[in-house]
Amino acid sequence: MSVTISDEIIEAAGMSEKEFLREIAIMLFRQERISLGKASHIAQMNQLQFLRLLGSRQIPIHYGVAEFREDLKTIEEMGW
């Protein structure tokens, strides 16, 4: 599934496309709706970069066995 967000909405938010995607990724991660791997993918960052972003905002990292398995699955799907 693809989602299209108009430039008008992104401009109204006062953000670049990258910033907008990062905010969406952070929000979904904070709500524990997606794993660290998926969030970093949405944010177009590697996991270490995304972890640093979370740390700079003092956002706690919830990472358990389920998230680890989800990240492994994501890595396999991406062919890494």
The closest alpha carbon to 33, from 4, 72, 62, belongs to 62
Question: d(Cα 71, Cα 75) in Å, to the nearest integer?
Answer: 6
Question: d(Cα 7, Cα 73) in Å, to the nearest integer?
Answer: 32
46-77 residue pLDDT tens = 999 999 999 999 998 877 788 788 878 888 88
Model pTM score: 0.74
Tokens linked to 64:
């358990």
Domain ranges of the chain: 7-78
Query: Would you state the pLDDT for residue 27?
Result: 97
CB-based burial label for 14 (10 Å; 0-12, 13-18, 19+): exposed
How many other β-carbons are positioned within 10 Å of the β-carbon of residue 57? 9
Q: Which residue has the tokens 């109204």?
A: 12
Q: Find the mean pLDDT for residues 7-34.
A: 95
Query: Would you state the pLDDT for residue 75?
Result: 82
